[in-house]
Amino acid sequence: MSKPFNDAFLKACRKEQTPHVPVWYMRQAGRYQPEYREIRKKYTFFEMSEIPEVCAEVTRLPVEQLGVDAAILFADIMTPLQHIGVDVEIRSGVGPVIDNPIRSEKDVERLTEIDPETHVATTLEAIRILNQQLSVPLIGFAGAPFTLASYMIEGGPSKNYHKTKAFMYAEPVAWKALMEKLGAMTISYLKAQVKAGAHAIQVFDSWVGALNEQDYQLYVAPIMHKIFQALKETGVPTIYFGIGTGHLLTEWNKLPVDVLGLDWRTSIQQARAKGINKALQGNLDPSLLLGPWEVIQERAKAILDQGMEQPGYIFNLGHGIFPDVPVENLQKLTAFIHEYTKR
Ligand code: 1CP
């Protein structure tokens, strides 16, 4: 018999009361799992993404192993870019690498449009399979335009985003065109995920914290507004996450998004003190998962005490799980969160 559907995560996104604080982990599918490493030996990252049954298996694995309250689709923020003319490859131990980085307005003009039903048919098929199998909500996701653009302009991961910012300042017309193209791709890709059965959407703007508030307002906020406004039509809850974005929270609070994801630098209390009234998600430092259990528990408890003060709180890490995190620590942490917050 299948388990009853656990909707605690969706309720928390909507700021409703829940029987316990729901929890899931960014990068809950990945290299810290021996089973993932075994599967990954056989395929490249994008080969895995092209087999719906494998995507579904990798998505389901941590839900069963850790007991979390939500699943996140196995794909990458770079997945849709391959279909609009970007030569991207995921290199082990590095991340996304792009052979044809954007250098001019002409490069932006060359980008094409996505047709999700043909281009990402396998990802959508994985969502349909998962809907038959899961008893927790499935989170669909995409990268936000700034973060995608940073890879497309730098050619790979970066520390300071100098090329990205230089392009933004020097080529404002091309930058706007790039944001519009990536925004349209994101809307179309995410709407297709919801249509296939995703119950919620997280937009990853991992690297936008590199901008100050003024530049965020000028160069990024308009497209984010457009994306979240368009997603409102789908009726599913939306989450916006970035690293080191504490200084942007007041701007983020103005967006038509339901949940804000925090990294470990800004506490739940600090966010609330800034007047953030949306649901919040976060924010245990993932490095702690390499430490002793007593310390993990103490820090998790301190976060939960702040989060539980009002409805609309989802436990997560401040960023993704590292490859060397012991699975056992995540199992203990999940059980502790459920037990400590049970009403
Ligand atoms: O469990 C899950 O989280 C599901 C799948 C998922 C998600 C949500 C993957 C699979 N990637 C992502 C999002 C993603 N990808 C982000 C946003 C979240 C974050 O900040 O971590 C970013 C920035 C990427 C880009 C990316 N892809 C990186 C980071 C590189 C950098 O700039 O530091 C890496 C290492 C990848 C590869 C990747 N994507 C996903 C996995 C499991 C892996 C690991 C590598 C592999 O098997 O080769």
- Domain residue spans in the chain? 8-341
87: amino acid identity, one letter:
D
Distance of CA 32 from the midpoint of ligand 1 (Å): 13
Distance of CA 23 from the midpoint of ligand 1 (Å): 19
Nearest residue CA, atom 23 of ligand 1? 206
Best substitution site from 40, 48, 61, 77 to test ligand 1's pocket, by max atoms within 8 Å of Cβ?
77
Closest CA to 187 of 123, 237, 231, 232: 231
Residue 140, ligand 1, Cβ within 6 A: no
pLDDT of residue 177: 98
Residue 74, ligand 1, Cβ within 6 A: yes
| Residue 265 is assigned to a ligand binding site | no
Q: Can you list the positions of beta strands (E) in the chain?
A: 71-72, 88-91, 95-98, 138-143, 200-204, 238-241, 259-261, 279-284, 313-317
Average pLDDT for runs of 10 along the chain of length 343: 88 98 97 94 94 97 97 97 96 94 97 98 98 98 98 97 98 98 98 98 98 98 98 98 98 98 98 97 98 98 97 97 96 98 94
pLDDT of residue 3: 85
Q: Which atom of ligand 1 is least distant from the CA of 91? A: 48
pLDDT of residue 92: 87
pTM exceeding the 0.95 threshold for the entire prediction: yes
Which positions ≥6 away from 302 have C-beta within 8 Å? Answer: none
Question: Is the peptide bond preceding residue 212 cis, with omega within 30 degrees of 0?
Answer: no
> Which residue numbers are catalytic?
27, 31, 40, 76, 151
Instruction: Map residue 208 onto helix, strand or coil.
Output: helix
| Residue 246 is assigned to a ligand binding site | no
Instruction: Map residue 239 onto helix, strand or coil.
Output: strand
Distance of CA 96 from the midpoint of ligand 1 (Å): 8
* Bridge pairing between strands 279-284 and 313-317: parallel
Q: What CATH code would you report for 8-341? A: 3.20.20.210
pLDDT of residue 66: 97
Is residue 336 within 8 Å of 300, Cβ to Cβ? yes
| Residue 30 is assigned to a ligand binding site | yes
Nearest residue CA, atom 24 of ligand 1? 77
Residue 157, ligand 1, Cβ within 6 A: yes
The dihedrals phi and psi of 313, each to the nearest 5 degrees, come to -140, 135
Nearest residue CA, atom 31 of ligand 1? 157
Residue 244, ligand 1, Cβ within 6 A: no
DSSP string, 267-324: -HHHHHHTT--SEEEEEE-GGGGGS-HHHHHHHHHHHHHHHTTSS-EEEEESSPPPTT
Six token digits for residue 234: 């789908």
Nearest residue CA, atom 45 of ligand 1? 92
Best substitution site from 72, 74, 76, 321 to test ligand 1's pocket, by max atoms within 8 Å of Cβ?
76
Nearest residue CA, atom 48 of ligand 1? 92
